[in-house]
């Protein structure tokens, strides 16, 4: 593939983000406005005077027709503004950037747990097809998909914190007496490693393991089943039988030839899973008091705060689109048969 083809492909995909953002903004804007309740009254309290309510409503532009409100909001978006939060009295973009590192760290850790557990177990399940081990792994994966996260999170907290005491209390990213490292990326595990702060790294790791595992259960089971399915399909190919007929060691046939080709379709799935985990951490963050975007939007919903709800929907849309773009590019590099960029 030529550099010019790659450049035009990326440029075309980035331009497609604009209509996607506009479409999502229209849907979220309308839905947030038809939610029962008045955010101004909720913010000022029931004892607020009618003059104070009207003054704040006018200051926020909520007394204008809905199409004018949306046009003002859309112009702000193209200036990089997402409005102000009634609850925090801060710009929504600043709030999202402050909470995003916590959600990103939780999502990346959950992805890491899913990959290191699911892919080996998927290979083992495929190599021992229809054995007792295979049936146990398939049954376990089915249970993992079926378990509600809020129930699993409470069970994990009860067992590993309350009964066994192996993990700290679910009170955020660090213990109260542990000082956060110098902020470089906002990812505590990464920042503590860079600064050489082992105490913070161990404490942050203890806090993130349980919520990350809870968040990873759905993606872990999906990856396990897809790895098993992909391995079974590849192991039946002619080139695998040829490799075995040549007398190649089993490890070389399985891991160098079969697994390498079975993993290629998983790249697209990993991009989808990352987006799902990033946007679906609401329950996990709420249960474990994790200060990420999910918990932020839940608190905003309880306050009937429109702008953060709109902001996080658009923010997640942009992140999800960019991740899928990166996955498509990586997919083309891993498998040269894929022609994403058209004729060269």
Q: Residue 212: which pLDDT band, with cuts at 50, 70 and 90?
A: very high
Average pLDDT estimate for 282-296: 88
Q: Which of left, alpha, beta for 172 (phi over 0: left; psi -120 to 50: alpha)? A: left
d(Cα 169, Cα 191) in Å, to the nearest integer? 22
The residue among 8 and 99 whose pLDDT is bigger is 99
Give CA 237 to chain center in angstroms: 35
Q: Does pLDDT of 226 surpass 90? A: no
Band of residue 342 on the pLDDT scale cut at 50, 70, 90: very low
Q: Is the pLDDT of residue 132 over 70?
A: yes
In this prediction, residues 247-264 reach a mean pLDDT of: 78
DSSP, collapsed to helix, strand or coil, labels residue 38 as coil
Q: Is 137 helix (H, G, I), strand (E, B) or coil?
A: helix
Q: What is the dihedral of CA 285, 289, 291, 292, to 10 degrees?
A: 0
Q: Is 84 helix (H, G, I), strand (E, B) or coil?
A: strand
Q: CA dist 206 to 156, 189, 199, 209, 256, Å?
A: 13, 11, 11, 6, 35
Residues in the chain: 344
**pTM score of the predicted model:** 0.81
**In the predicted structure, residue 293 carries a pLDDT above the cut 50:** yes
Cross-strand pairs, 91: 84
| Residue reference for tokens 């007398």 | 247
d(CA 6, CA 276): 27
Is pLDDT at 343 greater than 50 in this prediction?
Answer: no
Residue 156 to residue 144: CA distance in whole angstroms: 14
Predicted local distance difference test score (pLDDT) of residue 4: 67
- Which tokens hold the place of 270? 């990993």
Tokens of residue 52, six digits: 């104070």
What pLDDT is attached to residue 329? Answer: 73
User: Six-digit token pair at 318?
Assistant: 């942009």
CB atoms within 10 A of CB 322: 15
Q: What is the pLDDT of residue 52?
A: 77
Residue 25, Cβ neighbours under 10 Å: how many? Answer: 19
* Buried-exposed string 78-94: b where 16+ CB fall within 10 A, e elsewhere: eeeebbbbbbbeebbbe
pLDDT at 210 (0 to 100): 92
What is the gyration radius of the CA atoms in the chain, in angstroms?
24
């Amino acid at each position: 593939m030529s550099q010019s083809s790659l450049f035009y492909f990326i440029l075309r995909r980035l331009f497609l983000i604009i209509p996607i953002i506009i479409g999502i903004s229209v849907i979220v804007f309308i839905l947030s406005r038809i939610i029962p309740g008045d955010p101004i009254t909720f913010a000022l309290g029931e004892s607020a005077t009618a003059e104070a309510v009207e003054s704040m409503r006018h200051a926020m532009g909520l007394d204008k027709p809905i199409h004018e409100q949306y046009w003002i909001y859309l112009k702000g978006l193209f200036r990089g503004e997402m409005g102000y939060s009634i609850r925090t009295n801060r710009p929504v973009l600043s709030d999202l950037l402050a909470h995003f590192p916590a959600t990103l760290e939780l999502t990346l850790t959950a992805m890491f747990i899913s990959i290191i557990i699911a892919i080996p177990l998927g290979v083992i399940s495929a190599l021992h097809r229809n054995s007792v081990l295979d049936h146990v792994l398939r049954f376990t994966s089915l249970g993992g998909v079926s378990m509600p996260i809020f129930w699993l999170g409470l069970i994990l907290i009860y067992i590993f914190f309350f009964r066994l005491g192996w993990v700290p209390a679910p009170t955020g990213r660090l213990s109260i007496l542990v000082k956060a490292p110098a902020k470089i990326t906002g990812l505590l595990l990464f920042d503590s490693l860079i600064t050489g702060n082992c105490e913070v790294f161990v404490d942050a790791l203890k806090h993130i393991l349980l919520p990350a595992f809870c968040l990873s259960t759905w993606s872990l089971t999906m990856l396990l089943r897809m790895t098993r399915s992909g391995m079974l399909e590849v192991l039946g190919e002619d080139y695998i039988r040829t490799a075995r007929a040549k007398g190649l060691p089993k490890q070389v046939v399985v891991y160098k030839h079969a697994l390498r080709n079975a993993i290629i379709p998983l790249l697209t799935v990993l991009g989808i899973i990352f987006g799902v985990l990033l946007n679906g951490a609401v329950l996990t963050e709420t249960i474990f008091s994790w200060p990420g975007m999910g918990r932020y939007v839940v608190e905003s919903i309880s306050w009937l705060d429109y702008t953060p709800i709109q902001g996080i929907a658009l923010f997640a849309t942009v992140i999800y689109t960019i991740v899928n773009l990166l996955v498509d590019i990586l997919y083309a590099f891993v498998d040269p048969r894929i022609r994403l960029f058209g004729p060269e």
